[in-house]
Amino acid sequence: MSLEEKALQNDMAAYMRGEQPPAEQLTAAPRLSGWVATITRGPSGEYEMTLIGRATGHPYLLDGKDATTSPILWLDRKGRWARSQNRLWKLGEPAGEEVPIDGVDA
């Protein structure tokens, strides 16, 4: 198991216990503003939720560029942060849109 996979496993276990990400992790996390949730079918055919918004502080993206997260594995119920498959995100104000489900068949 890679270090990234182990970190993800530890994060998920902590969230299941009701824990929040440590303050230092949230401080270092990139921010996603004007975000909206989308649900699509992933490569395996299963439904995946991603977030799309303007990223700042991302290690590989220019500030202010539109970004799509990797699949979201945990979304803070108060909309303050999200854990994607690849990283923790701080969430700014959402775009105010509902999660689109058009075209998603049950």
Is residue 35 within 8 Å of residue 79, measured between CB atoms? no
- Could you give the 3-state DSSP secondary structure of residue 52? strand
The structure's pTM equals: 0.83
DSSP 53-69: EEEES-SSS-TTEEEEP
Please state, as a whole number, how many other Cβ atoms lie within 10 Å of the Cβ of residue 83. Answer: 22
pLDDT tens per residue, range 28-76: 999 999 999 999 898 889 999 999 999 999 999 999 999 999 999 999 9
Angle CA(4)–CA(46)–CA(74) in degrees, nearest 5?
45
Could you give the CA distance from residue 99 to residue 62 in angstroms, rounded to a whole number? 26
